[in-house]
Amino acid sequence: EVGPPVIDKPIIEYNVVKEITPPAIMISPEVMPAFPGGEAALFRYLQSNINYPYSAKENGIKGTVVVGFVIDVTGKPVMLTILKGIRGGKDLEAEALRVIANMPPWSIGLQNNKPVAVQYNIPVRFDLR
């Protein structure tokens, strides 16, 4: 009677990968990331790119959505989250996220001359004027 084969060494050798710790997310590094053209350009970008959702307009839903996000070491907005929503305003929240996710790349944040990820919060106001 033959038993299961005996294997001396594992067939696959695994390389131990040291866990990579993500870079810390900073709030106020020495050099802050900046939207191309500055804060005024950022607000112009938001105003010209936000499409007020029809459903929210129809139902008279308005208010301010606060979006939190991180400008990563390449200048892209990542880790978007709704910090403050609007009751009944899921469409407004989705639109705020869409517009911020599609922002052009920012200049990068620096700490000790090294790129760092930086936390941002932006209020996006939806007003039915």
* Backbone dihedral angles phi then psi of residue 26, each to the nearest 5 degrees: -100, 160
Single-letter amino acid code for the residue at 20: I
Q: Is the CA virtual torsion 57, 59, 62, 65 positive or negative? A: negative
Predicted TM-score of the model (pTM): 0.78
pLDDT in tens, 46-67: 999 999 999 999 999 999 999 9
- Cross-strand pairs, 115: 110
**Does residue 95 sit in helix, strand or coil?**
helix
Task: List, for the chain, all residue ranges whose pLDDT scores fall below the cut of 70.
Answer: 1-23
SS3 content of the chain, % helix, strand, coil (to 5): 20, 30, 50
